[in-house]
Copies of this chain bind each other. A is one copy, B any other.
Amino acid sequence: MAPCASLLLPVFAILATLPVIQSVPTFFPRPSYDQSLAKQPKASKPKIPYKTHYFPQVLDHFTFQPKSSKIFYQKYLVNSHYWHRGAPIFVYTGNEGDIEWFAANTGFLLDIAPKFRALLVFIEHRFYGESMPFGNKSYKSAETLGYLNSQQALADFALLIRSLKHNLSSEASPVVVFGGSYGGMLAAWFRLKYPHIAIGALASSAPILQFDDITPWSSFYDAVSQDFKEASLNCYEVIKGSWAELEALSAQNEGLAELSRTFRACQDLHSLDSVWEWLWSAFVYTAMVNYPTEANFMMPLPAYPVQAMCKIIDGFPSGASKITRVFAAASLYYNYSRAEKCFKLEHGPDAHGLHGWNWQACTEMVMPMTCSEESMFPTSSFSYKEFAEDCMKTFGVKPRPHWITTEFGGKRIDLVLKRSGGNIIFSNGMQDPWSRGGVLKNISSSIIALVTEKGAHHVDFRSATKDDPEWLKELRRQEVEIIQGWIDQYYPDLKRTNKE
């Protein structure tokens, strides 16, 4: 059986460009997988109560060359409805995508803003959304993409926040940073590297330990599998067995034609890879968003979608093939609204394009992943050599696999942060496969891990709903209490400093 790595990358057998790079799942699915979003007209952006601004940002904070002092316009969103001068500023440190999307999916901040009378600011990450340093040439080559990385992004946040506070004549306002997923990594790192700008950070589902050899490489896919296994052992076994069945069928005469029909492909399939990738995406991303309520985060899905998928798989009559079952389960992910007549399992060479996250994964964000025997995916190993070769071929750069842990740490993190740092919440839900690379234990009295058994990918950041379970309400209550504690500490500290 082909390794997991190639499972993840069916398109690239055709493209022959990006094979191993994409063995790392993105935090969010590519638009190409996301049929419903793809259909939405570009104009129908989520309606959110924020005003859009643009900040003249420095292209390169860390060299001082005439050309690197180039400016670009960085987008940020502001809601000042509840704020007054001197009150807290809550900043969302944007991740790899349009900032509106993160604002729309971080209702938590709007929910808590009145209590804190907080200004809300969502800052878009450079090279995503509209914040393109070189306009539509930003992704042209390594020459331009070179400026896309987390350290430059953190410095962007620092400069923008400082300028914003100055312009608001509110330099003494305490700033708390928030982020989910990669944005959560940025929030945590921002508090560690810029404690003079943010008094604390809430990092939700931030896998800052997914680097080097800190977290076992198989943990991500083991966790996905664990979710399905917990929902139903049979479900797990059906999925685990489906890959061989698929391979056997595709090897037969007319096998691909039959698969095209079974998977209701809009166009005839050319290889098994696209089916694998299509299924893989459905299972991985459904595990990530295994939320306790109906939600439309990446796709519209019912409450606890993993359980719903397994119910479908288990619900077939005993004679049904594994292929039929996994197709039906994946359809829940792609077609919960039942609007799809057929599925676009194969996408053209442009669909993947030079997505920003691929670049980041090929330079600093090297997160090796494998599929173990325990997982429900075909086993696979990680070859750094192949990975590096692909990155070189695609982008002309060599990854720096140890750079993130050199720049931000991570090894023996409890030993380190016990004696430095402070005021960080790491929240993780164990349903989320990314949780395994997160901080899951308290480090000090002010570096706190909040872990929920039933939580998924930054579930705490979603708007409160009437259906929220108690554990979720309690999680958010704890977060608010801790943040309140930082702020209650800050103002007397400030007063004392001003007196001296």
Contact = CB atoms under 8 A, between A and B. Distances in A.
Interface of A: 58, 60-66, 68-69, 142-143, 145-149, 151-152, 155, 158-159, 162, 191-197, 199, 363-364, 396-398, 400, 402-403, 405-423, 446, 489, 493-494, 497, 500
A420 B195 contact: yes
A221 to B, nearest CB: 25
B421 A420 contact: yes
Say how many copies of this protein the assembly contains. 2
Nearest to A414: B497
Contacts of A410: 196
A406 to B, nearest CB: 5
A418 B421 CA distance: 10
A420 B151 CA distance: 20
A147 B63 contact: yes
A489 B418 CA distance: 11
Contacts of A413: 196
Contact of A64 (B142, B417, B494): B142
A189 B66 CA distance: 26
Contacts of A162: 402, 406
B195 A68 contact: no
A69 B405 CA distance: 18
B146 A65 contact: yes
B158 A62 contact: no
Contacts of A68: 146
Contacts of A421: 195, 420-421
User: 4 closest Cβ contacts across the A-B interface?
Assistant: A196-B409, A65-B146, A195-B420, A62-B62
Nearest to A493: B415
A38 to B, nearest CB: 30
A423 B420 contact: yes
B62 A151 contact: yes
A430 to B, nearest CB: 19
A66 B196 contact: no
A188 to B, nearest CB: 12
A199 B409 CA distance: 13
Contacts of A152: 62-63
Nearest to A403: B61
Contacts of A64: 142, 145-146, 148-149, 363-364, 397, 400
Nearest to A500: B414
Nearest to A161: B406
A412 B497 contact: yes
A398 B69 contact: yes
A193 B195 CA distance: 10
A158 B191 CA distance: 19
Given A158-B406, A199-B419, A493-B415, A62 B65 contact: no
A149 B196 contact: no
A423 B421 CA distance: 11
Given A406-B162, A423-B420, A494 B62 contact: no
Contacts of A403: 61
Task: Output the residue of A402, A405, A419 with the most chain B CB within 10 A.
Answer: A419
A191 B420 CA distance: 9
Contacts of A191: 420
Nearest to A402: B162
Contact of A409 (B195, B411, B412, B419): B195
A143 B65 contact: yes
A493 B149 contact: no
Interface centre among A62, A145, A363 (most CB of B within 10 A): A62
21 contacts: A60-B62, A61-B403, A62-B151, A63-B63, A64-B146, A64-B148, A65-B143, A65-B146, A65-B397, A155-B407, A162-B402, A191-B420, A194-B409, A195-B416, A196-B405, A196-B410, A196-B411, A199-B419, A419-B422, A419-B446, A420-B423
A493 B418 CA distance: 9
